[in-house]
Amino acid sequence: MTTKYLSGVGLGLRREMIDELLPDIPSSVDFWEVAPENWIPLGGKFQKNLQHFTKMNNFVAHGLSLSIGSPDPLDINFVKEVKTFLDQHEILYYSEHLSYCSGNGHMYDLMPIPFTEEAVKYVVQRVKQVQDILERPLVLENVSYYAAPGQEMSEQEFTLSVLQESGCLMLLDVNNIYVNSINHNYDAEAFLEAMPSNKIVYGHIAGHYDETDTLKVDTHGADVIEPVWKLLEKAYQVHGVFPTLLERDFNIPPINELLLEVDKIKQIQQKFCTKKLKQYSA
């Protein structure tokens, strides 16, 4: 099987899950997400197992360290390694965060890019550079942020400008919209409606941490809450049903419990899917 299509529901694949998942890969998961930087340095058994997995299943790559908005130069060698990884596993889509995580060294956190015209121009030329090397469109995710340094435009205007001017595609994270809408006091549905339907390749949904009533932290460490499920329904109403992946990085329950939330995504998709599921192909 080639990994040219994304549809249905997805789940992140971590190295420690592989032994639990093989040989009976859950058929309810339609596609899997891997972080290339967690796999590129590995050899032997891990590569063999991943190859087995990617041959049999649909995959998307979700990077952690591209750092598209960083003041540091792009790490061209790293981008070339990502391209080799994508080609080797026949993965069409590589998504990353519309943020940065380096600047004079790695920061291991997602930092907000200033919402300015200058930053739009800067990010757009870097996206084009990455797309030229990858020979694929880059897919950028709307991220959660907790400060907006030097803000000249809204998050919505900034996100739309980067998407339109760079020609990249979008990973729509509904939990990030929810978290940001509370932390920065805006209308989550209005933001959602403004996003370009024709650019959404797939979506993320996740749980978060309630620090206070007005401060939510995007942890991926809890179950998805009801208002976020409702926002996913709204997203399907507005944009059509798109492939959607459950993110869970901390307090990870057994796979059978994770699959209950995956099934819930599927049920919502079926509720809104009067036509064929939205599907991206090469």
Interface contacts to Fe ion, rule CB under 5 A = 173, 204
Minimum distance from residue 105 beta carbon to Fe ion (Å): 24
Measured from the CB atom, the residue of 173 and 261 that comes closer to Fe ion is 173
**Angle formed at CA 137 by CA 208 and CA 97, multiple of 5 degrees:** 25
Minimum distance from residue 47 beta carbon to Fe ion (Å): 26
Minimum distance from residue 204 beta carbon to Fe ion (Å): 3
Question: Exposed, middle or buried by CB within 10 Å (0-12, 13-18, 19+), for 133?
Answer: middle
Measured from the CB atom, the residue of 152 and 223 that comes closer to Fe ion is 223
Minimum distance from residue 97 beta carbon to Fe ion (Å): 8
Minimum distance from residue 90 beta carbon to Fe ion (Å): 23
Measured from the CB atom, the residue of 126 and 204 that comes closer to Fe ion is 204
Amino acid (1-letter code) at residue 38? N
Closest CA to 203 of 142, 267, 119, 274: 142
Which residues, other chains included, contact 155 with Cβ-Cβ below 8 Å and sequence gap of 6+?
Answer: 115, 142, 145, 148, 180, 184, 186, 191
Measured from the CB atom, the residue of 43 and 108 that comes closer to Fe ion is 108
What distances in angstroms separate CA 35 from CA 30, 50, 235, one per listed residue? 17, 12, 25
Measured from the CB atom, the residue of 123 and 172 that comes closer to Fe ion is 172
Measured from the CB atom, the residue of 97 and 126 that comes closer to Fe ion is 97
Cα gap 266→68, rounded to integer Å:
32
Minimum distance from residue 247 beta carbon to Fe ion (Å): 5
Structure tokens at 34: 């891997």
Contact by Cβ (8 Å): 52, 32: no
